[in-house]
């Protein structure tokens, strides 16, 4: 691409395209390939691009913070969407979990944040609390270069009182679910009339959950001058209607998620319905999976499968919509910190679930929607690592396999359950144990305080300590199983941040 107007500086979008082509030309030169001026756009999109964040007009402080997070190169969705976002354009982007979309809109909204404004400047709407928590956590990391920034999470399933108290002290960014945001608007505890950026994350899921009216009501309280960013994993018909009702000539971006089907070994097993649980146990025993998610189509089925595995002594937990919020939080904490090896989940409850190094996905029952199937198995085989996807189906579900083949444009690989080593028992006990500390953010407890107490007074080497999660009134720390009892005893006898806290092992 040539700049036809040498005296006119290219806009951000043009600068990014120039960087893309320069990068590809350099790669082709090294590889002894040629790139003609008429090379198709698909070539640009399909080529792995190493475009640095430094090509964007970001402040040195933001770039330094991104570098500290090992964010040097943009993912495809970031490279495609950030030029539009930084030019204050509305955007509609089709991007799945794991594509880097949170950083895309996070960097964009932080770039125009005024830390001295003393008002809510950005609202991010999410379908579930789990996703909202993940988004808020990522935004806090991205915003570390801005002093005294306040990011609030407002979601259902938790008392209104503490949220009202937090809002009374002001906030810069709010991340929440539509229902709870509406509650605060009705109580006049939340004002959105000055926001600069509105983000709808996983908009397709919010439509599926019936939040259309709530979203419209929330948007009606925001200024028309706002920038609106809509991200969706899929592209149902309702998305166009939603976009048309509140976006202004949005730019459109569509990218594939970071995982590739070539990184996922996928097998289908035809079984009788009565043999599902037996075959599931055989799969776990045969593959000896260190971490796996088992998908079920209903909440009842989800709980039954988890109970069955627990009865067999397997560290399995259920994640579905009937769990109370505190229990759902704890399930996610335990699976992420490796004190639970098997997570049994429904699609709705697992929405936004982003677990690193997930070894396998098992479909206890196939989804009737092939796109949901692809979204399920896409949680494994990420970041260049291999993953396994194992699916059980009855003869009555054979048409679902055919639909998946058509959607993926690949033949399904089938195996007989008789090929499994049914004599092998699942022996992968979770390597970590979770300790719960009755103190959290409200008590000013930080991860460093907990780690210091464990490695200092308790005398536990740091390499035995895993993930630490801080909530408002509780904190959770993962300890290697072999040393967990010792750590519990010593922590209970010592102090954290000069105070005594009740500590217990989570079972």
pLDDT, residue 384, reads 65
Q: What is the 3 state secondary structure string of 94-123?
A: ECCCCCCHHHHHHHHHHHCCCCCCCCCCEE
Same domain, 234 and 369: no
Give pLDDT, residue 424.
78
Domain assignment present for residue 204? The answer is: yes
Q: What is the pLDDT of residues 98-150, one digit of tens each?
A: 778 999 999 999 999 998 998 999 999 998 787 898 899 999 999 999 999 99
Measured CA to CA, the distance from residue 159 to residue 386 in angstroms comes to 42
Q: What is the pLDDT of residues 352-405, one digit of tens each?
A: 666 767 899 999 999 999 988 988 898 888 766 789 999 999 999 999 999 999
**232 and 296 share one domain:** no
Q: Say if 100 falls within a structural domain.
A: yes
User: How far is 11 from 147, CA to CA, in rounded Å?
Assistant: 30
Q: Are residues 132 and 168 in the same domain?
A: yes
21-71 pLDDT, tens digit per residue, is: 344 333 333 333 333 333 223 333 333 356 899 999 999 999 999 999 989
Domain boundary among 254, 285, 306: 254
The whole-number average pLDDT for the span 473-487 is: 93
- CATH number at 308 reads 3.40.50.300
Q: In this model, does residue 234 exceed pLDDT 70?
A: yes
| Co-location of 409 and 457 in the same domain | no
Q: Among 76-90, 197-211, 240-254, 288-302, name the one with the lowest average pLDDT.
A: 197-211
Closest CA to 397 of 367, 420, 362: 367
Domain boundary among the residues 231, 254, 277 is at 254
pLDDT at 259: 45
Each residue's pLDDT tens digit, 438-479: 999 889 888 878 887 887 777 888 778 888 888 889 999 999
The 3-state DSSP class for residue 220 equals: coil
**CA 413 to CA 415: how far, in whole Å?**
7
**Region of poorest pLDDT, from 4-8, 218-222, 235-239:** 4-8
In a domain, 274, yes or no: yes
Same domain, yes or no: 246 and 130: yes
With a cut of 70, say whether residue 258 has pLDDT above it: no
- pLDDT, one tens digit per residue, over 269-323 is 999 999 999 999 999 999 998 899 999 999 999 999 999 999 998 999 999 988 8
Cβ burial, residue 168 (10 Å; 0-12/13-18/19+): exposed
pLDDT at residue number 21 = 39
Looking at the domain assignment, is residue 49 inside a domain?
no
Write the DSSP string, 369-383: SHHHHHHHHTTSS-T
Residue 269, SS3? strand
Least confident window among 154-158, 297-301, 434-438, 503-507: 154-158
Give yes or no: residues 246 and 326 share one domain: no
Closest to 185 in 3D by CA, of 158, 210, 212, 160: 160
Q: 293: closest CA among 304, 305, 285?
A: 305
399 is a domain residue = yes
Residue 476 · residue 436 · CB < 8 Å: yes
Say if residue 265 is in the same domain as residue 413: yes
pLDDT at residue 352 in the model: 61
Q: Does a structural domain hold residue 294?
A: yes
For residue 490, what is the domain's CATH number? 3.30.70.330
Let me know if residue 5 belongs to a domain.
no
The pTM score is 0.59
Give me the pLDDT at residue 207, please.
81
The region that residue 253 occupies, defined by phi over 0 for left and psi between -120 and 50 for alpha, beta otherwise, is beta
* Same domain, residue pair 174 and 222: yes
At residue 239, the pLDDT reads 84
pLDDT higher than 90, residue 157? no
pLDDT of residue 232: 86
Residues 147 and 115 in one domain: yes
- Among the candidates 385, 419, 453, a domain finishes at 419
State both tokens at 281.
Answer: 């146990």
The structural domain count of the chain equals: 3
Within a domain: 342: yes
Complete edge-to-edge strand list for the sheet that includes strand 316-319: 316-319, 342-346, 292-296, 360-363, 387-393, 264-270, 414-415
Confidence of residue 209 (pLDDT cuts 50, 70, 90): low
Let me know whether 201 and 291 are in one domain. no
| Residue 228 pLDDT greater than 80, yes or no | yes
Which residue range is the domain that position 147 belongs to? 87-254
* Same domain, residue pair 207 and 349: no
What is the distance between the alpha carbons of residues 313 and 153, in angstroms, rounded to a whole number? 36
Q: What are the DSSP E strand ranges found in 242-323?
A: 251-254, 264-270, 292-296, 316-319
198-202, 323-327, 362-366: the lowest-pLDDT one: 323-327
Residues 402 and 265 both lie in one domain: yes
Q: What is the pLDDT of residue 99?
A: 78
CA torsion sign for 189, 195, 200, 201 is negative
């Amino acid at each position: 691409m040539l700049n036809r107007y040498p005296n006119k500086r290219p806009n951000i979008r043009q600068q990014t395209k120039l960087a893309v082509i320069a990068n590809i030309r350099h790669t082709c030169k090294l590889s002894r390939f040629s790139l003609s001026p008429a090379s198709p756009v698909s070539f640009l999109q399909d080529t792995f691009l190493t475009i640095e964040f430094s090509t964007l007009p970001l402040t040195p402080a933001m770039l330094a913070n991104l570098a500290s997070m090992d964010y040097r190169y943009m993912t495809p969705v970031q490279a495609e969407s950030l030029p539009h976002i930084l030019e204050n354009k509305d955007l509609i982007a089709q991007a799945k979990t794991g594509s880097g979309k949170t950083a895309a809109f996070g960097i964009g909204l932080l770039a125009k944040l005024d830390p001295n404004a003393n008002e809510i400047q950005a609202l991010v709407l999410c379908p579930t609390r789990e996703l909202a928590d993940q988004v808020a956590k990522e935004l806090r990391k991205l915003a570390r270069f801005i002093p005294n920034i306040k990011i609030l999470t407002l979601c259902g399933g938790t008392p209104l009182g503490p949220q009202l108290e937090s809002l009374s002290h002001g906030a810069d960014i709010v991340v929440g679910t539509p229902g709870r945001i509406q509650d605060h608007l009705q109580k006049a505890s939340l004002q959105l009339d000055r926001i600069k950026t509105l983000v709808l994350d996983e908009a397709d899921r919010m439509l599926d959950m019936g939040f259309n009216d709530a979203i419209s009501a929330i948007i009606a309280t925001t200024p028309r001058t706002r920038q609106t960013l809509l991200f969706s994993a899929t592209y149902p018909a309702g998305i166009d209607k939603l976009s048309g009702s509140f976006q202004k000539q949005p730019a459109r971006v569509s990218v594939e998620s970071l995982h590739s089907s070539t990184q996922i070994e996928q097998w289908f097993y035809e079984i009788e319905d009565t043999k599902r649980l037996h075959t599931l146990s055989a799969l776990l025993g045969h593959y000896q999976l260190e971490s796996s998610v088992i998908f079920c189509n209903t909440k009842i089925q989800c709980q039954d499968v988890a109970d069955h595995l627990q009865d067999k002594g397997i560290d399995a937990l259920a994640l579905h919509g009937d769990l109370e919020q505190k229990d759902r939080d704890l399930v996610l904490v335990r699976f992420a910190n490796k004190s639970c090896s098997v997570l049994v989940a429904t699609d709705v409850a697992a929405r936004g679930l982003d677990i690193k190094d997930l070894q396998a996905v098992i479909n206890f029952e196939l989804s009737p929607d092939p796109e949901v199937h692809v979204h399920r198995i896409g949680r494994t085989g990420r970041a260049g690592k291999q993953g396994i996807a194992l699916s059980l189906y009855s003869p009555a579900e054979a048409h679902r396999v055919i639909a998946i083949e058509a959607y993926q444009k690949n033949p399904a690989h089938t195996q007989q359950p008789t090929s499994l080593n049914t004599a092998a028992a699942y022996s992968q006990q979770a390597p970590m144990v979770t300790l719960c500390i009755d103190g959290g953010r409200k008590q000013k407890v930080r991860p460093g305080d907990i780690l210091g107490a464990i490695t200092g007074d308790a005398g536990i080497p740091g390499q035995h300590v895993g993930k630490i999660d801080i909530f408002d009134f509780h904190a959770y720390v993962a300890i290697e199983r072999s040393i967990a009892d010792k750590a519990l005893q010593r922590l209970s006898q010592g102090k954290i941040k000069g105070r005594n806290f009740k500590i217990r092992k989570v079972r």
